Amino acid sequence: MKVIDVLKKKKSLSFEFFPPKTQEQEENLYQVVAELRNFNPDYVSVTYGALGSSREKTFNWVSKIKKEFQIEPVAHLTCVAASKKNIKTQVEYLVGNKVENILALRGDVPEGALKFEPPQDGFSHASDLVGFIKHCCPSVCLGVAGYPEKHPEAKNLKEDIGHLKEKVEAGADYVVTQLFFDNNRYFEFVEKCKQKGIKAPIVPGIMIISSYKSLKRMMQICRASIPDKLFEKMEKHKEDKKSIQQIGVEQAIKQVSELKKQGVPGLHFFVMNQSGPVSEVLSTFSRQQ
């Protein structure tokens, strides 16, 4: 099942995992996927490490999720340190294993590098990657990333939305946003995208705060802003892990409730390979039905 076909029929629910590095993490992720399957996700995605470092694990988990859990997988794919030939081989491998969905990303600047340097015979932009995949494997459903508060490297939001339009025009079927903590950022972003002529569904990406340290890190990496009242509350309880986790769950419930009322096309959770927080959030809405 292609993600775009799901989005045409219903409001989607999806989760994002990252490939585990150790045997213990492998066992944990297996349990997390098994637990979250109870919420009947329409699809789940698996991230792709810097410089393709987790490619094999990403593809292995994509296959495992499809075959063992019978959940539709989305494989992340970047153009960092990858030639056109290499990307074509990877896409054909995925298609050969009956993976119908890919999230096409430029990829992060490698640690220590000052700026993104395209590889020889590779791509500089995600829009180039999208167009290439659509050309060599037109049947693949492609998702791309959107940034409600702009990509950290973009001059401004207007410029960044212009880049997003290029990705959609190159063949992207839908958009998943980077995390945000203020829903107004998402709604304003969607409206500006519509004004720009972007018609692809824009699925909000939600991260449930689980620790003060991870919050600060994500704010640095993604440049996501945080409402003053929420940040003050986090600051007040930053040494109390349980309180931070509860605040995170309450914030996510508030966000999801408003997003659902506004009829967003779906919900995509960055679960950070933890089942507890997202289970608590989703169970809240199950009890309300």
d(CA 235, CA 14): 30
Task: Tokens for 10, please give them.
Answer: 């219903």
Kindly name the residue from 16, 72, 100, 149 that is annotated as catalytic.
16
CATH number of the domain at 156, please.
3.20.20.220
Q: Which domain holds residue 175?
A: 3-208+251-274
Give how far the C-alpha of residue 103 lies from the chain's centroid of Cα atoms, to the nearest Å. Answer: 8
Specify if 226 maps to a domain.
Answer: no
Specify if 266 maps to a domain.
Answer: yes
Q: pTM, whole model, 2 decimals?
A: 0.94
Q: What is the pLDDT of residue 213?
A: 86
In this structure, are residues 65 and 73 in contact, taking their beta carbons and an 8 Å threshold? yes
Average pLDDT over residues 115-138: 88
Specify if 171 maps to a domain.
Answer: yes
Q: What is the pLDDT of residue 217?
A: 80
**Residue with more model confidence, 131 or 109:** 131
Specify if 283 maps to a domain.
Answer: no
pLDDT at 112 over 60: no
**Residue with more model confidence, 121 or 180:** 180
Residue 110 pLDDT class (50, 70, 90 cuts): low
With a pLDDT cut of 70, the percent of the chain lying above it is 94
Specify if 242 maps to a domain.
Answer: no
d(CA 240, CA 272): 20
To the query of whether residue 16 is one of the catalytic residues in this protein, the response is yes
Which of 51-55, 60-64, 160-164 shows the lowest mean pLDDT across its residues? Answer: 51-55
For the stretch 132-152, pLDDT in tens is: 999 999 999 999 999 999 998
Specify if 280 maps to a domain.
Answer: no
Specify if 105 maps to a domain.
Answer: yes
pLDDT at 21 over 80: yes
Residue 287 pLDDT class (50, 70, 90 cuts): low
Average pLDDT over residues 108-125: 71
Closest CA to 52 of 98, 12, 90, 13: 90
Specify if 26 maps to a domain.
Answer: yes
Number of domains into which the chain is organized: 1
Which of 148-162, 220-234, 262-276 shows the lowest mean pLDDT across its residues? Answer: 220-234
Residue 109 pLDDT class (50, 70, 90 cuts): low
Q: What is the pLDDT of residue 222?
A: 78
Chain mean pLDDT for the chain:
92
Q: What is the pLDDT of residue 43?
A: 98
pLDDT at 51 over 60: no
Query: What sign for the dihedral angle of Cα 22, 25, 30, 36?
Result: negative
d(CA 179, CA 269): 9
**Residue with more model confidence, 250 or 213:** 250
**Residue with more model confidence, 100 or 217:** 100
